Amino acid sequence: MTGHPVGEFIQSLLDDKASWDPWIGVMIEHKGFVGHFVFNEREALFQGKVANIQDLVTFEGKTITKTHQAFREAVDAYIEWRHKDGREPKKSSGEGTEET
């Protein structure tokens, strides 16, 4: 978000595959899956979830780097879980249905 001082600061901490929005926090992507996370001040850590799936997959970390790593690990674990269950990992199309 250009021109927003907090947004510019947060964006400066992120790599080029992440973006910050004041309403939804930081958005990141891994293997086509999108995650978003925010800072929980009371717990002093970043907490997030994978946004474009119907299953609930969460992640957290004490730093932005560790949160990115936790997100990638959560996505990889989700993909592995779906394969072990004999199903393809599915991303939500955003219209109440899932697509591969």
- Tell me the average pLDDT across 77-92: 87
pLDDT value for 27: 86
Query: Residue 24: which of 7, 41, 5 has the closest Cα?
Result: 7
Task: Determine the Cα–Cα distance for residues 59 and 83; give it in Å rounded to an integer.
Answer: 20
pLDDT band at 40 (very low <50, low <70, confident <90, very high): confident
Q: Classify burial at 34, counting beta carbons within 10 Å of its beta carbon; exposed 0-12, middle 13-18, buried 19 or more.
A: middle
Q: How confident is the model at residue 100 (pLDDT cuts 50, 70, 90)?
A: very low
Q: Is 79 helix (H, G, I), strand (E, B) or coil?
A: helix
- pLDDT given for residue 60 in this prediction: 96
**Residue 59: beta bridge partners?**
48
